[in-house]
Amino acid sequence: MHAVLSYTFIQIPFNYFISQLLGIAVVGIYFYNLIKILDLDTVIKTYLKFAFVVVIIGYVLFFIGYNPFSHFDGDPRLMSILKEPAHYVVVIIPACYYFLKNKNYLKFFITFISILISTSSLGIIGCSLMFVLPYLNLKKILVFLALLPVFFFLFVQTYNNFEPFKLRVDDTYESLKSIKSGKFKEETNWSSYALISNLYVLNKNISDHPLGSGIGSHFYMYNVTYSKSMRAPQYLIDQDLDKSNAPDANSLFTRMTSELGIFGIAMIFFGIYYMRYTFTSNSLLFSQGIAIYLILKLIRDGHYFPPEFYFFIWIMFFEIKRFKSLPSKN
């Protein structure tokens, strides 16, 4: 209903909505039935085996310098059979976390190192979350807040006395200005442009439509409405990359907020609150790994129905459901 009203009011072609609705329905229903029919533990064990195989293939392809499925020709980074390192990271991060928490340190080490070798910034965030999230509580959050003045002091000292750091901060600040202006400098790199250009569209769209423009509409609003006021770096225009991340908004958070407005923000906070439950018991270790995957997906990759998304979602759902049905919980 939200999409129908939004599309009608803004006059967006309904094919954008229908394509997303069909994709979500088909993939979501398929994996729901698959995991409901099969034994949950068998599904998890099978995933872990295949994930580790993907890791080993990644090493082989990386060391021979051959990435046949890479999104960009000649990209030397480790990504195994996936199109880019970021996608490789999100697919195997639940396995990496599960190996760690089950003390399978050999497989954990091999998988963990592969994430670092991928040189994906998303991988660094994921690795950090593996060691932070399980131990996060209100007391530690308060300690962190109390230490913020110390962190700020260290930041200022580093900024004033370390020139490379100062240049990086200044460059980031200049790039972030584009969220308001939509004008990008020629030296802006592709990944920064992909992120900030979609944040620019989010900023404009949420200002014009606080309730969102409807599921599936971000690409239309980017391509038809707001790209007219943007100025992309010429080298990206020449390579036809100036709108390459527009279909998925570069991140699930950006896309949900742009398309669903305040409803999207509420859904994200509800999802984070629900994921918090997985860290209450060691019986939910795999779901904890999925929670890390979902956080990474909020940061990067806004597609609503990549195959692993509903595979992980339904595993978490059924694992939590099974845990709640136990007569005594750990």
Alpha carbons 7 and 254: distance in angstroms, whole number: 19
What gap in Å lies between CA 56 and CA 172, rounded to an integer? 36
Answer whether 258's CB lies under 8 Å from 221's CB. Answer: yes
Q: What is the pLDDT along the chain (330 residues), one digit of tens a residue?
A: 788 889 888 889 999 999 999 999 999 999 999 999 999 999 999 999 999 999 999 999 999 888 887 777 777 889 889 888 888 999 999 999 999 999 999 999 999 999 999 888 888 889 889 988 887 766 666 776 777 777 777 778 777 887 766 776 776 677 777 888 888 888 777 777 888 889 999 999 999 999 999 999 999 999 888 988 888 888 888 888 888 788 899 899 999 999 999 999 999 999 888 888 898 888 899 999 999 999 999 988 888 988 899 999 999 999 999 998 877 655
Six token digits for residue 211:
């309730």
Alpha carbon distances (Å) from 297 to 6, 95, 126, 181, 306: 25, 16, 10, 26, 11
Rounded-to-integer distance, Cα 98 and Cα 154, Å = 35
User: Which of 323, 287, 326, 280 shows the shortest CA–CA distance to 43?
Assistant: 287
Query: CA torsion sign, 30 to 34 to 36 to 41?
Result: negative
Distance CA 202, CA 162 (A): 34
What's this model's pTM, rounded to 2 decimal places?
Answer: 0.86
Measured distance CA(297)–CA(90) in Å, rounded: 7
Element (H, E) at 269: helix 252-276
CA dihedral for 186, 172, 116, 99, sign (positive or negative): negative
Q: Provide the residue count of the chain.
A: 330
CA distances from 10 to 207, 261, 262 (A): 14, 14, 17
